[in-house]
Structure 1
Amino acid sequence: MPHDHMAEMLDLDADVLHDFHRDVINWAGSLAPDRPRIVDLGAGSGTGTLALARHLPDARVTALDKDEDLLEHLRERAVAAGVADRVRTVRADLDLAWPDLGAPADLVWASASMHHLADPARTLAEVRTALRAGGFLVIVELDSFPRFLPDPAGAALEDRFHAELARMRHEHGMHMGEDWGVRLTAAGFEVKGERRFDIELRPPLPPRAARYAQVSLQRVRHGLADRLSSDDVAALDALATTVGDRDDLVVRATRSVWIGRRP
């Protein structure tokens, strides 16, 4: 998927799932001391970085990502949000040697990034080192793409491509479905919270939900074009042109959050 579409999808996720993001940011913010130093791992388009910077007006946030195009998008958003003076971007591949982050962090935020890592145990050890004693790590993970289609044919199509996505993630060694509480304990963290969010939005949906569905389905089509049947690819192509006009869409998603504290 082109970088601009990836950034748009991440931005739309934050917009459409606003209540979920607000609740988790409030939770994370409650863990931070005055004038906190925050690190956002795999910051992407900057949803977490900017939300934390706005929520904690005395915070300084360092956003790490290996994609320079997404970091540029983040910097532009930080300027527009009026928080650029408190946001620093660092290009870094978290599977390689970490950059020097300066003073220890009070809070590390990792949203939808841990499952991408080649060696989560190594990354958790790096996070533990980067945190001050008593600092917190917030892990936010998703189980899969959201579901949007309520009609029987659409739901069946989603079942097929979700199954194929699961097979592809397994082949690529992605860490979806991990119990991050167990991982945190093994890495020497104290698990201080765990919560599952079952999200279901029904019509009338937020204004940008149709575009969120369209971009998400386009990403599926782009990623699975050589793995789905020609009929399913054609169905996804047709949806890409019609889903924006539908008034029956739903948004169903599951997100889980774990809080770890460095002793």
Structure 2
Amino acid sequence: MTPGHEHSPQHGSHGHRHEQHDDSGQAEILELDAEVLAEQIAEITAWLPLKSEPRQIADLGSGTGAGTFALLDRFPDAHVTAVDASAGHLQLLREKACARGVRDRVSTVQADLDSDRWPDLGTPDLVWASASMHHMAHPERALRSVHELLAPGGLFAVVELDGFPRFLPADAPAERPGLEDRAHAATDSFHAEHVPHRGADWGPMLTAAGFGVEDERTITVNIEGARTEAIGRYALGSLQRIRSVAAPALSAEDLTALDALLDADDPNSVLRRDDLAVRTKRTVWAARRA
């Protein structure tokens, strides 16, 4: 959930700094991400090269629980410790756990994972970090902390994304074709400065931290918008966050067209379009502590 996102419009679950703006807005994006990409998350949990069913799992940067609940579903005898910097996200996660009848299988820990001293998270035999490692200011230190945390022979699953999802066809909107690509390009320098590890190859960093990388897999996502109305809301929230960073670098014409996409009352609003799709990639590295 990420998930935290104190600067970046990049969505995901986060584990370090407490988000200082719009915690509820970030939670909504995390919830939509979990709903729209539920099949892909389940596919990743089913793929993990485990030697035995994990009993203790840590979800680092859990956000509102997309990974936590996918792991609980996949491993019915497991207990998950969800770790995040946001008290609000963890409160929502606990409420969802109660509603799903799994509250006794979930613990939550509010923590800054960029700290050099982590809280006691037990000795998990599976650690999961989805869209959280690239937010770390000191990822090498965090990887070493995970290595120390894991039980011998335990598995560390790092799930990362290649960038923000795309939603519009290349020729949209009609008056400003290619607008989405230009908006993404306008955020590149920001991301290079604030989240330099986004899109990184985590394999060499995992090896340097003492892990053996057993497998790597990239899942290509292309979900047609007609499948669920949540995609329109997902596109709206995502593009709003991109606009907050891209606006200074966009032309007046592009900004006008983008604002029309974000206006629920405009005929061009993403909430009214029937040509949306979610296009993104998720890569997962499965690394074992020897």
TM range (shorter): over 0.9
Going by fraction, where is helix more abundant, 1 or 2?
1
Shift of 1:173: 4.3
Shift of 1:206: 2.2
**How many residues matched?**
261
Shift of 1:90: 0.5
2:193 counterpart of 1:171: yes
> Which residue number in structure 1 is paired with residue 276 of structure 2?
249
Do the aligned partners of 1:214 and 1:243 also contact (CA within 8 Å) in 2? Answer: yes
1:164-206 Cα shifts (integer Å, max 9, x gaps): 2221111114311211111111111111110111111235332
85-94 or 154-163, which moves further after superposition?
A: 154-163
Residue of structure 2 aligned with 1:210, choices 226, 229, 232: 232
Q: Aligned Cα RMSD in Å? A: 1.7
Distance across 1 between alignment mates of 2:152 and 2:22? 40
Do the aligned partners of 2:225 and 2:275 also contact (CA within 8 Å) in 1? Answer: yes
Partner amino acid, structure 1, of 2:35? D
Q: How does 1:68-79 map to 2 (within 5 A)?
A: 68-79=87-98
182-191 or 107-116, which moves further after superposition?
A: 182-191
10-19 or 122-131, which moves further after superposition?
A: 10-19
Partner amino acid, structure 2, of 1:190? G
Shift of 1:47: 0.4
Do the aligned partners of 2:59 and 2:129 also contact (CA within 8 Å) in 1? Answer: yes
Structure 1: runs of 5+ lacking an equivalent:
none
Instruction: Give the match's secondary structure for 1:204.
Output: helix
> Which residue number in structure 2 is paired with residue 262 of structure 1?
289
Distance across 2 between alignment mates of 1:122 and 1:151? 40
> Which residue number in structure 2 is paired with residue 23 of structure 1?
43
1:209-253 Cα shifts (integer Å, max 9, x gaps): 111111111121233344433433332221112111111112110
2:110 counterpart of 1:91: yes
Question: Residues 211, 173 of structure 1: CA spacing in aligned structure 2 closer, same or farther, 3 A cutoff?
Answer: closer
TM-score (norm 1): 0.93
Do the aligned partners of 1:50 and 1:83 also contact (CA within 8 Å) in 2? Answer: no
Runs of 4+ aligned residues of structure 1 deviating over 4 Å after TM superposition are none
> Which residue number in structure 2 is paired with residue 240 of structure 1?
262
Partner amino acid, structure 2, of 1:5? G
Partner amino acid, structure 1, of 2:67? G
Instruction: Give the match's secondary structure for 2:167.
Output: coil
134-143 or 213-222, which moves further after superposition?
A: 213-222
Partner amino acid, structure 2, of 1:41? L
Instruction: Give the match's secondary structure for 1:256.
Output: strand
Distance across 2 between alignment mates of 1:213 and 1:8? 12
2:172 counterpart of 1:141: no
Do the aligned partners of 2:54 and 2:126 also contact (CA within 8 Å) in 1? Answer: no
> Which residue number in structure 1 is paired with residue 218 of structure 2?
196
Do the aligned partners of 1:43 and 1:64 also contact (CA within 8 Å) in 2? Answer: yes
1:79-108 Cα shifts (integer Å, max 9, x gaps): 111111111110101111210113x11000
Residue of structure 2 aligned with 1:129, choices 148, 169, 192: 148
Residue of structure 2 aligned with 1:2, choices 13, 22, 47: 22
